[in-house]
Each structure stands twice: as C-alpha cells, then as structure tokens.
Structure 1
C-alpha cells in the first residue's frame, strides 16, 4: 500500500492539470498514489490519463458532484495512510510531501500538517505574497474563529481522521473544508511547516463575485460549530462572524464593489470592533479610502507596485 494518497479533483482542468501533476512527480518523497477524480469533465482528461504510463495514477470517473463530492470520493478510494489534497491548478514545491510525511511519522498526536502558501498568478508567476499562519498544536479555539488552513492544497491528513470523524459535509458547500479541519482540530493537534511549499494559483475569473453565497456557506459552518462550543467560549461566535465580514469586505474590493465593501466592514465592526484595528483591518481601511477617492484603478495601481516590490525582495533573498 502507498504511504500517501494524493487526491486531485478535476473538472475541465486540462489547461493546468499536466503542470500540476508534473510537480507531483518531482516530489522527493515518492511512495504515493495519485487519484485523479474526473468530476464529470467534458474535456479530454480520460484520453490524456490513458496516455500516462506511471502505475501510481488512478483515474476515477464520476458524474459532477462538485469539489466536496470529489474530495469524498478520493477519501473513500484512498489506500494510503496519509491523504493529501491538490487542486488541479495548484502546484507543490519538491520537498513538500517529504517534510510533511516526516512530521506525521514523528508526531502521532498530530492529525494534520499544513504549510505556508505562496500566491501565484494565472501564468504560475509568484505575486510575492506568502500567506503565513502560526497555527500549530491545539488550534481548535483558533480555527473555530477563522480558517487557519488557507489553501485546500496545503494540508496532509491522517486517513484515520476521516474514519473517525466522517467525510466532508456537502451541506457546508464551499466551506466544507473549514468544517472538516475544525472537526479534526477537536481531536488532534495540527503541525506546520513554516515554508511556502504550496503554490496557490489566483484566477481573476474564478474569484467569487457572489459574496452573499460565500457568507451563507461560512454562516453554515459557524452555526454548526457553535452548537457544541461550551458556554464560556460562545463569545467567540461574534468574532467569527466579524472575521468573515472582514474577509468579504476584501472580496468586495476585489470585485470593484465599493459600497458592498463598506457594508461588510460595518458589519465586522458591529460584531467585533477589535477586528478592524487588526493589521488586516487597518490595511483594509486604507484600501477603502483609496478606492473612495481614486476608484478601483487607484487601488489596483498601489497593489501592482506592492506586488512588484515583494517579488523583488523575494528575488534578493532567494
């Protein structure tokens, strides 16, 4: 049996999937199987996989069930002791699996090991932004307020976690992964590799413009979670909502919807005023002010300058 099962959901993903799979086969850790879940694609994925000669690849075809359904199919079919999830357009650095496997092997109390995440653009070029978290150990109280696993392609999880806690909940929609990580954190510690070993591709076209839907999905997770949170921690529920609203205000700015961004920021303040004085909250106030006076193009200009500076800094230190 392979040590690791890599689950790659694929829905009409052939534009990026070959490059993504290439980073899998460049891993320094090689004891794995690759489960490509063809989630009702209409492209040539079946013919393409048939042309591959690596025996570690398995193609699993199913009618379209969405990302949650594809993840659950992968978990059910996985033969490995550990399960990694990889979106069909994201990439891995070569040492990712090796470092995560070593961590789980040495720390039986850990159920999930995460990594830092580098954002890349549609062409695979780094934006210079590294998403860093310091969430490790007993992260349950932290993760019920805000997702600490920021990219679905970054965690490596013990399969026993799913055997004990169940599959991803389709009722949670696009937030089913947050719900799953909360459930794992209620029983296991988390570990963290503090290196950007996961490359998270950003698409202008895929950025959700339906903030109301995103809110409802996050709301479903919060309400489900806090049904079992002890009374002394129920005050964290309002903070969880405030952080969701703060996130949605950023999404609204990305969608060039100034009025919606202001509304969500106001809701964040109503739920927990402290969040708008955080680093993210203060940066957001600057972005909203910039948009108010100079429009979305002004904000885009500042962001482009910032990204260029970050790329240059990373190039100097790498």
Structure 2
C-alpha cells in the first residue's frame, strides 16, 4: 500500500494538468499513488494518462458530477494512510509531501497538516505574494470565521475523512471550507510555515461564478453555525463579513473586473463586521477599487504588473523554472 494517496480532480484540465502531475513526480518523497479523477472530460486526458510510464499515476473516469463528488470518488479509491489534495492547475514544490509526512508521522494527535501558498498567474508567473496562515492546534473557532486552509496545501489522515464524511456533493465552491470545519471539530491541525505550493489565479467569468460562490458561502456559514454554542453565535457576523470581503476581491479578479460590484460586497462586509474597515485586506481592497475606477481596466492591469515586478524584486522571488529551490518565508497576511 502507498503511504500517500494524491487526489487530482480533472475536468477538461489538459492545459495545466501535465505540469501539475510533473510537480508531483518530482517529489523527494516517493511512496505515493496519484489518483486523477476524470470528471467527464472531453479533452485528451485518457490518451495522455495511458502514455505515462509511471505506474503510480492512475486514472479514474466518471460522468461529470462536479469537484466535490470527484474528490469523494478519489477518497473511495485511495489506499494510502494519508490523503493529499491537488487541483489540476496548481503546483507543488519538491519537498511538500516529505515535510507533511514527517509532520503527521511525528504528531499522532494532528489530523491535518497544511502549508502556505504562493500566487502565480495563468502563465505561471508569480506576483511575488505569499498567502500565510497560522491555523494550527484547535482551529475550529478560527475556521468558523473564515477559511484559512488552502485545499491544494492539505494532507490529511484518511481515517479523518472516513470519520467526518466526504465533501458536500452539491457544492463546487467553498466545499473545502465546509470540510475543514468538520475535521477541525474533531482533530488538531498543523501548519508548515513555508510556501510549498503555487496557486494559479485564472480569471473566470464573473456572472457565472460569483453568485454561485455567494450561495456556497451562505450554505457553509448557515450549516456551520446551526449547532454552535450560543456564546459563539457572534462569530456568524464575522464570518459573513469575511465572506463578503472575499466576494469583493473575486469581483476585481474576474475577467471583467467589476469595481462597482466589488464596492457593493465591500460595504456588505463592513456592515456585517465593522472592524474589517481597518483591516489590511480592506485597505488593500479599497485602494484597488479606487485605482480601477480612476484608471480603467487597461491602466489598472499595467499598474498591477508594475507592483508585482517590484514585489518580486524586493522579495527576490524565484521564477517558476526554479521551483526546485523554492522556499519563502514571508509575513504577508492572508
């Protein structure tokens, strides 16, 4: 039996999937299986996997059912003691699995270990930013407020997944947040404070995704607070505040960059949780909204590129082709 099962849901993902799988095959820890769950794709994924020479990579095909059920299928087939999740367009640094396996082996009370993440664009170019998290130990109350755990950074004991159940079948957004809340109610978390994976930011259609994401947040929050102790119910407004702040950023990061919608969600966030007005994230968001409104989409894009270039230079951020030596300790807050 392999020590680790890696689950990669894939739906028409061949644009990035080969690079993603290559980052897995370069791991310094090698006792793993890779379960690629083809969720009804119409691309060349079956042929591509059949031509791979590494027997650790396996393809599971199913009709299109969404990312949650694809991950659940992978969990059902998984043989490893530990399970790691990886989206089909993200990348891992070579020591990710090794460091997480050591963490779980040496800390039997920990059910899940995650890492920090670095951001790249659709072409694999970094913007110099690392998203950090201090969610460790008893994280349940922290996770009630907001999701602080990135899905492609996670390694979890398979027994934890068996005990809490699978991903919510009808959720294709925020399904990981719901899962981490359920796991954190029973198990301690650990975090490796290094950026051991790259999250690829791919602009999506605003109209298609943001309303669905909003409904997913609503479902997760209402479900999470359904049975919390009365003394913690005040956190519900905090949770809605952080969720709306996230939606505001999504409006700016979409292909059409709707600053009016971003401003709407920003105001909702502050109305739920007034303390957010003074947060670092809200200040950044407010500056971004003003810049987009004043300069327009094209000039705003150029300003972002300049800001990213300066940040990469200041942090001496490596290029994607130097992933083998990638290690960043950056105190940028999420």
Match of 2:88 in 1: 88
Q: Distance in 2 between matches of 1:22 and 1:203?
A: 20
1:267 aligns with 2:258: no
Distance 1:110 1:316, change over 3 A: closer
Distance 1:200 1:140, change over 3 A: same
Deviation at 1:261, TM superposition (A): 1.4
RMSD: 1.7
Q: Distance in 1 between matches of 2:267 and 2:89?
A: 35
Match of 1:187 in 2: 186
Match of 1:13 in 2: 13
Q: How does 1:286-305 map to 2 (within 5 A)?
A: 286-305=287-306
TM-score (norm 2): 0.91
Deviation at 1:230, TM superposition (A): 0.6
Match of 1:285 in 2: 286
Match of 1:217 in 2: 216
CA contact (8 A) 1:9 1:88 kept: yes
Match of 2:65 in 1: 65
Q: Could you list the runs of 5+ residues in structure 1 that have no partner in the other structure?
A: none
Question: How many pairs does the alignment contain?
Answer: 317
Structure 1 stretches of 4+ moved >6 Å: none
CA contact (8 A) 1:109 1:189 kept: yes
Distance 1:115 1:207, change over 3 A: farther
Match of 1:310 in 2: 311
Q: Could you list the runs of 5+ residues in structure 2 that have no partner in the other structure?
A: 319-326, 328-334
CA contact (8 A) 1:179 1:221 kept: yes
Q: Distance in 1 between matches of 2:205 and 2:84?
A: 23
- The more displaced of 49-58 and 176-185 is 49-58
CA contact (8 A) 2:137 2:188 kept: yes
Q: Distance in 1 between matches of 2:253 and 2:202?
A: 12
Q: Distance in 1 between matches of 2:206 and 2:190?
A: 29
Match of 1:78 in 2: 78
TM-score (norm 1): 0.95
Match of 1:202 in 2: 201
